[in-house]
Structure 1
Amino acid sequence: MKKKILASVLMAIILSGCTMPEISFNNTDSPLFVEEKNESSASDVTASVGSEQDTSENESDGGTKEKDTSSDRSGTDMRNEDTSADQSLTGMEGDDSLTDLSGDTSVKDKEKKDSERIRNSKTENAELLSVVLSEKFERKYDSTSGKVSAKVDYAWPKLTAAAKKKSPDLNRFLERYEAALIKQMNTDFSELAEKASESRAADSDERKITRTMLPVRSDTAVFSAVTLASGGIEDPSAIEIEAVNIDPGTGKEIELSEVIDTEGLADQLMEAYDAEYPDGPITDLEKLLAGYSESDYIWAVSEEGINFYFADDAESDLVTVQISRKDEPDLFTDSFAGVPKSGSVPVRAGVQNAFDIKNDGSTDLLRVTGDNNSITVEMNGRSAVGRLSSGEIIPVLVRTADERYYIYVHADGDEEYDQLAVFDVNGEIPVFLGTMSQMGFPKYYHDDGTRRTVLPCDPEGFLLESDFDLMSSYSASCLYATGSDGMPEAKDIWYYLNGDDYAGSNIELTALMKFAADSIDPETDETAEEGIIIQKGTTLKIYRTDGKSIVDLKTEDGGIVRVDIDTSGGWPHTIDGTAVQKLFDGIIIAG
C-alpha cells in the first residue's frame, strides 16, 4: 500500500511562524463577506490567543520535537525524499523554539493539563470558520497535436475575511502552507512538462498530477484537512494521502494522543474497519497496523470523532475508517468534543467518504460522482440520480441545527450556466430533491489562473451566486438558508455583485447622457431623495439587484442611486423609455 504522510520537518517549518505576505480578496468590502455570526474583532481574537500562548506553546514544542525525531521514518512531504528538499521548497528555515530542550516531565505534564483545561472551555462553544476553496492549474500543449501533454491541478482551502479575524494564527498557517504548495506545484509541472517533451505523446496519465486539500472540520476548536494526490511520472495510478490537524487558537499542530487513547489503537481500528468494510478492500491491513507508531497514522478530527485514512491502491480509492465518539466515548479525551450546532463539510467527489449521518454512532459510506448528464449520490450502497449536465462538481454535506442532512452539489457549467443539485440523505435511500438553475457556489477568477469558490459554511446563512441579465449581464450573490424541505431559501431580497475584476462580476459604467434616479440612504435602504439628476460622464458601478426590476448603482463617493429597469419589451432593457446601451457605456451582454 502506498501512502504519504505530511513530513514532520515541513510541518515544523510551516508551524514556525515565518511571515508570509497578506493575501486579500477584492470583494471583502461587500457586506456579504464581512458579516458572520458571533464575529469577534481582530483585537479580541488576538487577546484571547495571547492568554493561551504560554501554556499551549510549550505543549506543542514537546510534540514537535518528538515528531521531528521520527521524520526519517515517516518520509517527506510533496514527493521529496530528503528534508533539505522540503526546506528549499518552502524557502523558510526552521525555528529553534520548536525544539523542546526541557527534560522536566512534571512541568510538561502541568502545562499540558493547563492547556487542555483552556482548550476544553474553548471547544464547548466552537464557532464555524468559513473557507474558500482555491484552485490553480497549469497546462502544457503538444506543439504537434495541440492536445494537453502535461497538466497539474491543485486545490486548497483559504479562510474568508470573517474567519481570518476569528483565527489569525490559523490563517498564518494556511498561508505558509499555500506558499509551499504553490512552489511544489511549479516543480511538479516543470518535471511533467520535461517528461512530455521527451516522449512527445499527448494525454497520458503519466503526465497528470492532481492534489486536493479539503477540510474535514473547520471551527474555532479544530481545523483538520486531508489532501489526496494522484498521478505522477513513476506510478500514475498511485494515490497519496496527507492530513493536518491544527488548533486555530494557536496555529499549532494537534497530537493524536490529545484526541484519543492510542493504547490498543490498532485493534480498535481493525474492529471499526471490519464493521465498516465487510468486504475488506485493503489486504493485510492488520499486519500493516501492527508495525505502526503514533506518527505513522494519517488521521483527522471530525465532528463525529476521528477519521483514519488508507489508500486502496487496487481501486485508486480512499478508505476512511471512522471511530465515533458516540460509539466509543471512553477512547476519547475531553478535548474537541464540542461542535457548532450546525455546519457543513466538503464531500470529496469520486471516492468513498465516511460520516455518521444517522447520528447513531455507526458509519455511513457516501460517494458522489458526476458526468456530462447526471450526478449520483450513493450512500451505503443505495443511490439517487439527478439528471443534469455538469462539468466539475463540488459536493458539500450540510447539517442543520435539528440534525437534518442534505448534499448540495455545485455543478460547474463550463461554458454554460452553473447549477445546484440538492439531495436528501436523511433516509435509508438518498433522494434527489431538485436543481436550482443558473445558481451555484460563488466563484472568483484571477489572472494568475486561480479560481476561488466560497463553500457553504452555516446552513443558517450561506452565499449562493446567480447569473442575471438585468440592465447588463453579471453574477451576484445572495444570502440563503437551508429550508424545511432541504432546498436553499433566500434570506434577503438583494443579490450583491462580486467585487472581483472578472467580466460579468464587476460592472463599471459611464453615463452617456444625464438621467434621473432615486438616492438611497445606505443605512436604512429607504429612498432619501427622488429623481436626482445623474450628469453625463458620471462613473457608476452596479452594486446590487433584486433580480426582477431594481438595480442599485454606487457612485464614486460611495453613494447609492436606484434605477427601475423595464424588461417588458425584451432586450434592450430600458430606463424611463431609454435603452440602457444609450444611457451607459460599459454594458455587458452575455452570449
Structure 2
Amino acid sequence: MKKIWLAVMASALLASAGCQNAGKAQEKDSAAQNASETGSAEKDTAGESSAAEENESKKDAEPCYPYHITSKNTGDWKYSKNEEALLVASKYNLLGADVYVNPDTGRADEVKPEILAAVDKINGDTEKISKNFVKDNAAEAEEMRAQHAQDDLFNSFENENIVKPVRADSGCLTVVRENYSFLGGAHGFSETTAYTFDAATGKRLKLADIVKDTENIPEILAAEVPKQNENADGLFDQDGKMSDGEKLSDRIREMMKGDGYEGENDTAYLNWYADRDGLQFVFNQYDIGPYAAGKFYVKLKAEDYPELIDTRFFEVPEQYIEELEEGKTYSIGGADLKVSFQYDPSDGSSYIETLRVDYAGKQATYQPYSYRESIYHLHTKDGDYLYCNDFTENDWQSLSSLKLSKTEEMKFYQETAGVYDAVMIDPEAMILGGRTELLSSMQMERSYRAGKDGRLEPNDKYFALKPWEDFQLTLKQDIELDVLESLETEKSHRETVKKGTKISFIRTDDKSITDCRTDDGRIVRFHVNGDVWPHIVEDKYPIEELLDNTIFAG
C-alpha cells in the first residue's frame, strides 16, 4: 500500500443552483421514472403513479433549470529567463457547467448547449487575458529585472483572475471576474468584469435587454453613487461634476457605449450584472474617481424600479442564499447583522481566532482558528441562518451553522461538510463536500438542505466520490462481494471477484460501505471497518493485503 502525505485534497465541487426544492424534486422524478421503465413487480405501482403525478405538479408549479456551475483552480502561465527568478506569472480559474449526479440513483440530466456555450465564452476570455498578460509583459519585466540586478528591488509581475458565479438559475447565468495585476509600480490594479447570460438562450444580455428605457440610467446612477458609497464623499460637487469638471452623468453616458462589453470602445465601459434581486453596477478604479478612492458600487433593486427594470429576470425566490462581507452591516429580519473577525496576534494576524456575530443587540462567538472565512446568509421559510465556512490547514473546510434570533440565545453548531468551490444558491439543494477515508482518502460530495433549525440535513443517502482522474484500485486476491443489480434498488447477490480486477469508485455512506465499479462493469459493494488500522474489509481482509494502490492522507 502506498501511504502518501497529501497537503491539499483536490476539489471541484458542484455548485448548487436552480429553483427551490430542485435537488429533491429531481431525485424523486428520477426514481419515479426509473421505476416506470423497469416495471419492477415488487414495487407499489399505484404509489409510483401518485408520486410521479405529485412531482409533475411540482415541476409545473416551480419551473427550474437544474444545472450547476463548478469552479476549478486550473493553472497558470509563467515566464522565467534561463530558469532564473520568476519574471511574470498569471493565475486563473475556469468554470464548468455540470449537473449533480445523484449518488443514490446515478442519474443526471444534460446541460443545455446554450449554457455550455456561455461558459466556454467566459473561460476563453479568462485564458486569453491570462496568457496575453505574460506575453505582453515579458520583455518589460526582463528589462526591469536587469535594471535592478544589483539592488534586488525587482518584484515579479503578477496577474490573477478569480471567476465567480453570482447567479445560476432558470433566468440568468451571471459571472463576475475579479482581475488583479501588478506591473512593478507603487501598487497593483484591480478590475471587475461582469457577464450576464440569458439561461434559456445562452445570449449575453445587454443593459437594454433588461432595462426598458436606458435614457435616464446615467442620471439615476450619478445620483446614487454618492448615496451608496462612503468613499465618494467630497469627490463630486453639488452639480454632480467630477474634479476635472466633467459631469458624472456625462461620463457614465459615454461609458454606456460599451454596455458592459470590454473592447467595444476605447474608453471605459459600463460594468453591470444581474444578481438575485436587481442590477449591480461596478465602477472600477479610475472610471469615475482617482485610484485612491477605489471602486464604486450602485445597486438598483428591481422592486424599486418596476417601470424601468424588466422584473421577469428578478422573481425573488421564497428561499435564497447570499454571501456576506465581514465588517459590513446588513438588515435581516428587521434587525441589524454584523459579522467581524478577531485575529490571533501571536501568529502575525494571519489566523482568525474568533468570529463574532452581532444581531438584534445580541452576540454569538466561536473560535474557528482558520486562515479564511466565507459567510453566508440563508433565508428560508422557517427563518434566517448564518453558515460560516472555515478554511483550515491542508485546505480542509467545514461549515458552522447559526440560527439568527431576536429573542433566544444564538449558538454555533459544527457541521460535517464544507463549501469548497461550490456556489451557494439554493437552501434546498446545497452541494457540499468532505473527505472520506474508506478504502482511500478522497473527496466526496452530496446534496443538503437547511433544516428547520438551520442544521444541515442530507437529501441523499450516499456521498458521490470524487477521486483523482483515472484513479483505480487493483485486487491482490480473490474475494466474495455483494454485486448490486443497480444503484437504485440495491438488490444484490454474492459473487467472487477475481484477483487482478480493477475497481473505480462510485459512492460511500462514509460509515462502512463503499460501492465501486469493476473494469467489466459490475457494481460491487465493500464493507469496511475503518475504526481499526489497517482497515478490515468484509470482516476478514486487511486492506493492505487485499488492495493495491490505496492512498491515505497523513
| TM-score between the two structures when normalised by the length of structure 1 | 0.64
**Match for 1:332: what amino acid?**
I
Compute the displacement of 1:460 (Å). 0.9
- 5 Å-filtered alignment, 1:360-439, equals 372-374=350-352, 387-390=367-370, 398-400=378-380, 404=384, 406-409=386-389, 411=391, 413=393, 415=394, 417-422=396-401, 433-436=412-415, 439=417
**Match for 2:208: what amino acid?**
S
Contact kept, 8 Å, 2:222 with 2:249, in 1: the verdict is no
d(CA) in 2 for partners of 1:192 and 1:369? 39
> 1:276: which partner in 2?
228
- Indicate yes or no: 2:214 matched with 1:262: yes
> 1:441: which partner in 2?
419
**Match for 1:420: what amino acid?**
L
d(CA) in 2 for partners of 1:366 and 1:298? 28
**Match for 2:172: what amino acid?**
V
Compute the displacement of 1:425 (Å). 6.8
**Match for 2:503: what amino acid?**
L
Contact kept, 8 Å, 2:282 with 2:298, in 1: the verdict is yes
Contact kept, 8 Å, 2:534 with 2:543, in 1: the verdict is no
- 5 Å-filtered alignment, 1:496-511, equals 496-498=464-466, 500-501=468-469, 507-511=471-475
d(CA) in 2 for partners of 1:577 and 1:172? 51
Find 1:577's aligned residue among 534, 540, 543. 540
d(CA) in 2 for partners of 1:480 and 1:573? 30
Report the secondary structure of 1:243's partner residue.
strand
Q: Which runs of 5+ in 1 are unaligned?
A: 1-24, 29-34, 42-121, 443-452
Number of aligned residue pairs: 459
Report the secondary structure of 2:120's partner residue.
helix
**Match for 1:488: what amino acid?**
L
Distance change (3 Å), C-alpha of 1:358 and 1:203: farther
Compute the displacement of 1:333 (Å). 3.0
> 2:118: which partner in 1?
173
- 5 Å-filtered alignment, 1:9-158, equals 125=63, 127=65, 129-138=67-76, 140=78, 149-158=87-96
**Match for 1:289: what amino acid?**
L
> 1:554: which partner in 2?
517
> 1:455: which partner in 2?
423
Find 2:503's aligned residue among 528, 540, 558. 540
d(CA) in 2 for partners of 1:289 and 1:369? 39
Contact kept, 8 Å, 1:172 with 1:251, in 2: the verdict is yes
Q: Which runs of 5+ in 2 are unaligned?
A: 1-10, 15-21, 30-59, 101-107, 242-246, 260-268, 344-348
Compute the displacement of 1:271 (Å). 4.6
Distance change (3 Å), C-alpha of 1:244 and 1:544: closer
> 1:516: which partner in 2?
480
- Indicate yes or no: 2:153 matched with 1:208: no
Distance change (3 Å), C-alpha of 1:316 and 1:344: farther
Report the secondary structure of 2:529's partner residue.
coil
> 2:248: which partner in 1?
289
**Match for 1:509: what amino acid?**
L
Report the secondary structure of 1:190's partner residue.
helix
Contact kept, 8 Å, 1:376 with 1:385, in 2: the verdict is yes
Compute the displacement of 1:259 (Å). 2.6
Compute the displacement of 1:185 (Å). 0.8
d(CA) in 2 for partners of 1:193 and 1:368? 39
d(CA) in 2 for partners of 1:188 and 1:351? 34
**Match for 1:153: what amino acid?**
K
Find 1:159's aligned residue among 97, 111, 120. 97
d(CA) in 2 for partners of 1:149 and 1:435? 43
> 2:191: which partner in 1?
240
- Indicate yes or no: 2:494 matched with 1:494: no
Contact kept, 8 Å, 1:130 with 1:457, in 2: the verdict is no
Worse overlay, 487-496 or 275-284: 275-284
Report the secondary structure of 1:239's partner residue.
strand
Contact kept, 8 Å, 1:258 with 1:335, in 2: the verdict is no
Distance change (3 Å), C-alpha of 1:472 and 1:500: closer
d(CA) in 1 for partners of 2:438 and 2:171? 43
Contact kept, 8 Å, 2:446 with 2:462, in 1: the verdict is yes
Compute the displacement of 1:246 (Å). 1.8
Deviations 1:22-51 (A, max 9, x none): xxx9999xxxxxx9566699xxxxxxxxxx
**Match for 2:196: what amino acid?**
N
Let me know the Cα RMSD of the aligned residues. 4.5
Identity level (%): 19
> 1:322: which partner in 2?
299
Contact kept, 8 Å, 2:160 with 2:180, in 1: the verdict is yes
Q: Higher relative contact order by CA 8 Å / sep ≥ 6: 1 or 2?
A: 2
Contact kept, 8 Å, 1:310 with 1:320, in 2: the verdict is yes
Contact kept, 8 Å, 2:512 with 2:530, in 1: the verdict is yes
Find 1:358's aligned residue among 332, 352, 364. 332
Distance change (3 Å), C-alpha of 1:166 and 1:552: closer
Contact kept, 8 Å, 2:337 with 2:357, in 1: the verdict is no
Distance change (3 Å), C-alpha of 1:248 and 1:572: closer
d(CA) in 2 for partners of 1:218 and 1:377? 30
Distance change (3 Å), C-alpha of 1:368 and 1:461: farther
d(CA) in 1 for partners of 2:234 and 2:550? 58
d(CA) in 2 for partners of 1:367 and 1:195? 42
> 1:303: which partner in 2?
276
**Match for 2:419: what amino acid?**
F
> 2:55: which partner in 1?
none
Compute the displacement of 1:389 (Å). 4.3
Report the secondary structure of 2:313's partner residue.
coil
d(CA) in 2 for partners of 1:588 and 1:195? 45
| TM-score between the two structures when normalised by the length of structure 2 | 0.68
Contact kept, 8 Å, 1:128 with 1:218, in 2: the verdict is no
**Match for 2:538: what amino acid?**
I
Contact kept, 8 Å, 2:302 with 2:311, in 1: the verdict is no
d(CA) in 1 for partners of 2:396 and 2:311? 47
Contact kept, 8 Å, 1:463 with 1:479, in 2: the verdict is yes
Compute the displacement of 1:175 (Å). 0.4
d(CA) in 2 for partners of 1:381 and 1:226? 32
Deviations 1:408-434 (A, max 9, x none): 536264x35333354667879x97835
Distance change (3 Å), C-alpha of 1:485 and 1:519: same
Report the secondary structure of 1:440's partner residue.
coil
